[in-house]
Amino acid sequence: MAKALTFAVISGSLRAESFSTKIADSLHDLVPEGVTVVPQDIHDIPLYNEDLKTDGSSPAQVQDLAQAIEGADAVVISSPEYNRGTSGVLKNVIDWMSKEPNTPFAGKPVLIITQSPSATGGLTAQYDLRKMLSVINAEIVPGFEIAVSKSNDKINDGKLTHDDTKEFIADNLSRLANRIRG
């Protein structure tokens, strides 16, 4: 039997009807056997501000997220594209994590999924995230970018329903699991 794995999943959007969150919520149906998807809530992460650290420690919700990332075998990020970049809330999360002890993303395999109602599927957000994550030594999973174009047409009833997109994401999630399992 394959080693059990945990993937922490972060949606880079706070919007209740976010396509990024709906894609993230669809991942539990797409991961290979033995992989558990654990969504991470970033709604209560405050804006990055060193003044919020007390006795050198970040706020509890930041510490909790850092521990969840550290404890996961990999991280999957599902991000929207705003103004040719990732969302401000996701940038904020990365900024907080870069200042946490042990830098939770350092050495952690990260798979990035971007989406946009546009034809490009959030590719500039993809590159924006790759740049930021490389600075904090995340192990960005190489290969084809997962950029879900025309996402508004591929999500129905709160779930990703486009078969080719689901298959492509499932293949990449399997590749991630196999990479970790060696």
Contacts for 118 with CB less than 8 Å, ≥ 6 apart: 81, 149, 150
Bridge pairing between strands 5-11 and 74-80: parallel
Range of the domain at 74: 5-45+58-181
pLDDT in tens, 19-60: 999 999 999 999 999 999 999 999 999 999 999 998 889 999
User: Is residue 128, in this structure, part of any structural domain at all?
Assistant: yes
**Residue 4: what pLDDT?**
97
> What is the amino acid identity at position 63?
Q
Q: What is the mean pLDDT of residues 90-115?
A: 96
In the chain, the amino acid numbered 56 is G
Contact indicator for 145, 138 with CB cutoff of 8 Å: no
Quote the tokens at residue 86.
């990732």
Q: What is the CATH number of the domain that holds 159?
A: 3.40.50.360
- How many domains are there within the chain? 1
Q: In the structure encoding, which two tokens stand for residue 178, read together?
A: 């196999």
Does residue 93 fall inside a structural domain? yes
